[in-house]
């Protein structure tokens, strides 16, 4: 799954990192932060932030209290964590993302048993899959602002706890309605990538995030794929209740690991703690953290604005709209495969366990795609070192995708006409084309959010939030149309024509990639968000503070 709201990669000055109240990521490079000395660009943490430049560390509030900034305690922030601590935290986050996306993709293996047990149609049983993913799409957007105000750690713990709690009534459900309600609540409780990728932004400076974000993205798409693998085993050997008990076990272990091995990474929270420590020790009795000076702490209008902006950008920005539809279509394909594999591979006499193992081809495709992007991340980093700001043209981020995206169409056409049964092909042949689809899916996810961050800077979290919303929403809808489409279109060759239709749609949704690569600068020039970004960079160049006030931001009006 997506993880919603994700800004990624390195791109340009740091305003791209925090100005949006959601979790901005920049993505490029690897290793620990460059140094314990704060770099020149500023890091606006969220929409209600105070204005302190690197020259105004001593600026006092109206009541004479001095605000502690990132510059004043950079060595206490996540950017200065040792590299091994960063990657240890990131590995736990990898597991968290896998767990949440596992919950979204293991359910289809319970559809047939649930249908039989509760005497509902299989199509009705699939509502549990659809409603979880649709709620997940909204849940990621709802959790993001609170993780910035209260901290990543407590919000992730609360999210994991609620997701785990809702598994219990599902496993003990006296009727199917209980499962529907609890699946909805479970999806809404899932924080997803809005928090996990935000934690990556907390620990890596823009020029250093590439390898870290690529790793987390692998967990997002990988979690979707391991669900059917283990789901096939559950369906083959266990009762339907174990579909939910195993989700609970996985989630419970993940929550415990997160509880003991992950520390807070959110910059404003760490600054608050350092300010309290300095007052307590007498080192600086008049210093306060950004949240301590923010009155009121929670402003409904700011939270509402943050929740609404991803949807505004999704509808009003052509780049966000078309690339999000491409990314969402690609993610929906994986969930369509989850449904279609059951029909396709039954032609070879596969049982649920064997059908689940077919998804290993997708896992391999993701790992290969991850490997393809690593040298590209390194190459982009070297180009920026040698060329400076001239290398930060956002369209550079689409170059690799120009060659990877067609694999989706090729894979779909190939899968369509090699899935005709044992009289025509060996069962491994369609899986080769599924492998190509997986490479394209990972590449599309990485490159589209990468480009959005480069194009929208401070608005990147909202832009990629629309991307994540589209991925989850379209994936949820696919649960309802996939099986009817593969069963009822095209007569004798219904399996083939269904995949062919998807291949034709893939051509349509990939065309904008080439348009944006060619005409991207002109399109961005007509965007009010992109134009404000340039003005914002000029206005706040070189300024670093823990908070930046909404009143100063023309785009907050």
Q: What is the dihedral of CA 347, 102, 314, 500, to 10 degrees?
A: -10
Q: How many CB atoms lie within 10 A of CB 539?
A: 13
What is the pTM for the complete model shown?
A: 0.82
* Token pair belonging to 345: 């591979």
Backbone dihedral angles phi then psi of residue 23, each to the nearest 5 degrees:
-80, 105
The pLDDT of residue 62 is 57
Q: What residue spans of 204-240 are helical by DSSP H?
A: 210-237
What is the average pLDDT across 132-161?
A: 89
Taking only the tens place, the pLDDT of each residue in 357-384 is 999 999 999 999 999 999 998 888 888 7
What is the average pLDDT across 17-26?
A: 41
Q: How confident is the model at residue 539 (pLDDT cuts 50, 70, 90)?
A: low
CA dist 389 and 386 (Å) reads 10
Q: Which residues pair with 66 in a beta bridge?
A: 60, 287
Taking only the tens place, the pLDDT of each residue in 406-424 is 999 999 999 999 999 899 9
CATH architecture group of domain 15-34+45-537: Up-down Bundle (1.20)
* Token pair belonging to 263: 């520390």
26 against 505, higher pLDDT: 505
Mean pLDDT, all residues of the chain = 81
The pLDDT of residue 206 is 67
The pLDDT of residue 20 is 46
What is the average pLDDT across 386-407?
A: 80
> Is residue 537's pLDDT more than 60?
no
What is the average pLDDT across 473-491?
A: 88
The pLDDT of residue 227 is 94
> Is residue 394's pLDDT more than 50?
yes
Q: Which residues contact 11 (CB under 8 A, 6 or more apart)?
A: 26, 27, 28, 206, 392, 394, 397, 453, 454, 457
Number of residues in the chain: 557
Q: How confident is the model at residue 44 (pLDDT cuts 50, 70, 90)?
A: very low
DSSP 20: S
CA dist 277 and 271 (Å) reads 10
Taking only the tens place, the pLDDT of each residue in 236-245 is 999 999 999 9
What is the average pLDDT across 50-78?
A: 68
Taking only the tens place, the pLDDT of each residue in 432-461 is 999 999 999 999 988 887 787 667 755 666
CA dist 515 and 508 (Å) reads 12
Q: What is the dihedral of CA 481, 484, 489, 494, to 10 degrees?
A: 110
Taking only the tens place, the pLDDT of each residue in 281-314 is 888 888 888 888 877 666 777 778 777 877 888 8
> Is residue 536's pLDDT more than 90?
no
What is the average pLDDT across 170-189?
A: 96
Could you give the C-alpha distances from 60 to 19, 54, 285, 318, 551, in angstroms and in order? 22, 14, 13, 43, 18
- Long-range contacts of residues 83-87, Cβ cutoff 8 Å, at least 24 apart: 83/31, 83/32, 86/32, 86/203, 86/204, 86/212, 87/212
* Token pair belonging to 484: 């009817």
Q: How many CB atoms lie within 10 A of CB 423?
A: 6
Give Rg (Cα) of the chain: 23
Domain ranges across the chain: 15-34+45-537
CA dist 529 and 316 (Å) reads 10
CB distance 204 to 212 below 8 Å: yes
> Is residue 92's pLDDT more than 90?
yes
pLDDT-wise least confident of 107-116, 243-252, 487-496, 504-513 = 487-496
The pLDDT of residue 103 is 94
Q: How confident is the model at residue 27 (pLDDT cuts 50, 70, 90)?
A: very low
Q: Which residues contact 442 (CB under 8 A, 6 or more apart)?
A: 217, 218, 221, 365, 366, 369, 370, 373
The CA angle 6-11-16, to the nearest 5 degrees, is 55
């Amino acid at each position: 799954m997506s993880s919603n709201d994700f800004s990624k990669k390195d791109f340009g000055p740091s305003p791209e990192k925090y100005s949006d109240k959601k979790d901005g990521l920049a993505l490029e490079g690897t290793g620990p932060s460059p140094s314990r000395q704060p770099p020149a660009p500023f890091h606006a943490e969220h929409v209600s932030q105070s204005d302190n430049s690197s020259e105004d560390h001593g600026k006092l509030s109206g009541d004479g209290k001095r605000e502690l900034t990132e510059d004043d305690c950079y060595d206490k922030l996540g950017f200065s964590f040792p590299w091994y601590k960063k990657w240890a935290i990131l590995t736990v986050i990898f597991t968290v993302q896998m767990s949440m996306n596992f919950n979204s993709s293991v359910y289809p293996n319970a559809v047939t048993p649930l249908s039989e047990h509760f005497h509902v149609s299989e199509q009705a049983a699939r509502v549990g899959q659809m409603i979880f993913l649709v709620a997940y799409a909204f849940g990621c957007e709802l959790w993001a602002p609170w993780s910035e105000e209260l901290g990543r750690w407590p919000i992730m713990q609360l999210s994991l706890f609620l997701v785990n709690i809702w598994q219990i009534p599902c496993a003990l459900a006296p009727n199917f309605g209980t499962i529907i309600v609890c699946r909805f609540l479970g999806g809404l409780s899932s924080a997803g990538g809005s928090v996990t990728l935000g934690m990556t932004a907390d620990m890596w400076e823009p020029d250093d995030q590439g390898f870290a974000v690529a790793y987390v993205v692998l967990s997002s798409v990988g979690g979707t794929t391991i669900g059917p693998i283990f789901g096939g085993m559950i369906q083959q050997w266990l009762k339907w209740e174990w579909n939910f008990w195993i989700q609970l076990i996985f989630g419970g272990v993940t929550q415990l690991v997160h509880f003991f091995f992950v520390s807070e990474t959110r910059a404003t929270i760490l600054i608050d703690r350092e300010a309290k420590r300095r007052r307590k020790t007498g080192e600086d009795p008049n210093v306060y953290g950004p949240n301590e000076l923010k009155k009121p702490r929670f402003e409904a209008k700011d939270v509402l604005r943050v929740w609404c902006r991803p949807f505004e950008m999704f509808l009003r920005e052509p780049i966000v709209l078309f690339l999000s539809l491409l990314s969402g279509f690609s993610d929906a394909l994986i969930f369509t495969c989850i449904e279609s594999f059951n029909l396709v591979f039954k032609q070879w006499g596969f049982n649920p366990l064997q059908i689940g193992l077919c998804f290993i081809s997708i896992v391999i495709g993701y790992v290969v795609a991850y490997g393809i992007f690593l040298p590209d991340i390194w190459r982009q980093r070297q180009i920026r070192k040698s060329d400076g700001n001239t290398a930060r043209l956002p369209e550079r981020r689409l170059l690799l995708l120009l060659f990877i995206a067609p694999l989706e169409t090729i894979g779909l056409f190939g899968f369509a006409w090699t899935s005709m049964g044992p009289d025509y092909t060996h069962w491994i042949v369609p899986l080769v084309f599924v492998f190509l689809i997986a490479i394209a899916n990972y590449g599309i996810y990485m490159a589209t959010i990468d480009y959005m961050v480069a194009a929208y800077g401070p608005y990147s979290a909202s832009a990629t939030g629309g991307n994540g919303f589209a991925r989850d929403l379209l994936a949820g809808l696919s649960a309802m149309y996939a099986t009817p489409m593969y069963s009822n279109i095209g007569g004798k060759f219904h399996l083939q024509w269904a995949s062919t239709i998807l291949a034709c749609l893939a051509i349509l949704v990939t065309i904008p990639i080439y348009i944006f690569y060619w005409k991207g600068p002109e399109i961005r020039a007509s965007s009010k968000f992109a134009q404000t970004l340039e003005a914002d960079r000029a206005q706040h160049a070189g300024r670093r503070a823990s908070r930046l006030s909404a009143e100063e931001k023309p785009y907050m009006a």
